[in-house]
Amino acid sequence: MNPTTKQNSVFIGEGVSFKGSINAPDEAVIEGQFDGDLTVSSLLIGQTGRVTGTIKADRVDVKGELNKDISSRQLLIVRSTGKVNGTLEYGEIEIERGGQVRGNMSQV
Amino acid sequence: MFNKFKSAPNNTPTESEEAADPVAPEEIVLIKEEPAVPVAPATTPNVTPSATQQRGNGMMGMLQANVSKPSILSEGFYFKGELSAKGTIHVEGSLNGQVQVDELTIGSRGQVDGIVNCKIFHIKGRFSGTATCEELTVTSSATVDGHVVYKSVSVQKGASIKGELLLAK
């Protein structure tokens, strides 16, 4: 399915930079740059994506960069190309070899 | 098969002592002492198949052991203090203190509390304290609490990590 036409979801494409806050009941796919607050059920950061801010999600999948305060209530996956900096709160975590994680971690 | 049997012990005399076979070592000695024919045929028909097989396993074991001879802190063993070694340490018991080693593995029942300095760090059990390593592997059964400085990390789903992960440059 084309992610741009999914209901309750948001897609920020490569080259797009967004500042502000987003509240999406379903999914957020970020290939561009995002700055701000993000509350979403499922967050997917593509290889070119960069997210900075306060993130609240159930599931987070990071192939790009994720900074600042992150709360992933269920599962946080850092792929081999992923970089995560900041304060991390997670239910379950998985880091692929090569993934970079810097910060304070705690389990909810 | 016969040649193999005779040449193996001559090439690796030390290995025969380590081969965990209670019967084989005696026969090897016999053959080594007198390569004459009478003794060898007597022993070979019954023993050769299993003996060569086990010797093969023993050789593999030796090769692996030479690559990384792990020192094992087994279950129920409690160690407190400073530990420094080259090579591998496998902890199934409890270790409390300062550890400096090439490779440290905390088994699923192992527990390490303290300061760890190593190259390769496998955590299957519990770790708390401060660790500096190059390659960190945290498996799903692991619990990590503390500061870990690493160069490369992989964490399996299900692992519990509390504290700080820092990337060394």
ipTM of the assembly?
A: 0.86
In whole numbers, what is the pLDDT of chain A averaged over residues? 93
Report the phi/psi class of residue B105: left, alpha or beta, with left for phi > 0 and alpha for psi in -120 to 50. Answer: beta
User: For the segment B66-82, what is each residue's pLDDT rounded down to a tens digit?
Assistant: 555 789 999 999 999 99
Q: Which residues of A touch B158 (CB under 8 A)?
A: 92
Q: Domain for residue A105, yes or no?
A: no
What band does B165 get if pLDDT is binned at 50, 70 and 90? very high
Q: What's the pLDDT score for residue B56? A: 47
B152–A98 CB contact, under 8 Å:
yes
B154, B160, B163: residue with CB nearest A95: B154
Asked if B124 contacts B106 with a C-beta cutoff of 8 angstroms, the reply is yes
Q: Domain for residue A11, yes or no?
A: no
**Nearest CA among A84, A79, A85 for reference residue A98:** A79
Q: Compute the nearest-CA separation of A49 from chain B (Å).
A: 21
- Answer yes or no: is pLDDT of A35 > 60: yes
Q: What's the pLDDT score for residue A7? A: 87
Contacts of A90 (CB under 8 A, 6+ apart): A70, A71, A72, A73, A75, A76, A105, A106, A107, A108
Helix locations, B68-106, DSSP H: none
Contacts of B140 (CB under 8 A, 6+ apart): B156, B157, B158, B159
Q: Which residue of B has its CA nearest to A102?
A: B166
Q: What's the pLDDT score for residue A61? A: 96
Asked if B9 contacts B43 with a C-beta cutoff of 8 angstroms, the reply is no
Asked if B128 contacts B110 with a C-beta cutoff of 8 angstroms, the reply is no
Strand (E) positions, chain A? 10-12, 17-30, 33-45, 50-52, 55-62, 65-78, 83-95, 100-107
Q: Would you tell me how many other CB atoms lie within 10 Å of the CB of residue A29?
A: 22
Interface membership of B63 toward A (CB under 8 Å): no
What band does B7 get if pLDDT is binned at 50, 70 and 90? very low
Q: What's the pLDDT score for residue A4? A: 57
Asked if B162 contacts A107 with a C-beta cutoff of 8 angstroms, the reply is yes
- Answer yes or no: is pLDDT of A108 > 80: yes
- DSSP β-ladder status, B78-84 and A100-107: unpaired
Q: What's the pLDDT score for residue A1? A: 53
- For chain A, how many structural domains are there in total? 1
Q: Which residues of B touch A92 (CB under 8 A)?
A: 157-158
- Answer yes or no: is pLDDT of B13 > 80: no
Interface membership of B160 toward A (CB under 8 Å): yes
What band does A32 get if pLDDT is binned at 50, 70 and 90? very high
The rounded distance, in Å, linking the Cα atoms of B100 and B131 is 10
- Answer yes or no: is pLDDT of A39 > 70: yes
Asked if A104 contacts A90 with a C-beta cutoff of 8 angstroms, the reply is no
Q: Domain for residue A58, yes or no?
A: yes
Q: Domain for residue A13, yes or no?
A: no
The rounded distance, in Å, linking the Cα atoms of B28 and B40 is 10
Q: Domain for residue A49, yes or no?
A: yes
User: For the segment B92-120, what is each residue's pLDDT rounded down to a tens digit?
Assistant: 999 999 999 999 999 999 999 999 999 99
**Mean pLDDT within A81-96:** 95
Q: What's the pLDDT score for residue A30? A: 96
Asked if B164 contacts A105 with a C-beta cutoff of 8 angstroms, the reply is yes
Q: Rg of chain B's alpha carbons, rounded to an integer?
A: 22
**Domain ranges, residue A35:** 22-100
- Answer yes or no: is pLDDT of A10 > 50: yes
Q: Which residues of B touch A100 (CB under 8 A)?
A: 153, 167
B153, B164, B166: residue with CB nearest A95: B153
Report domain extents, chain B. 2-65, 70-167
Mutate to test the interface with A, among B122, B135, B137, B161 (most CBs of A within 10 A): B161
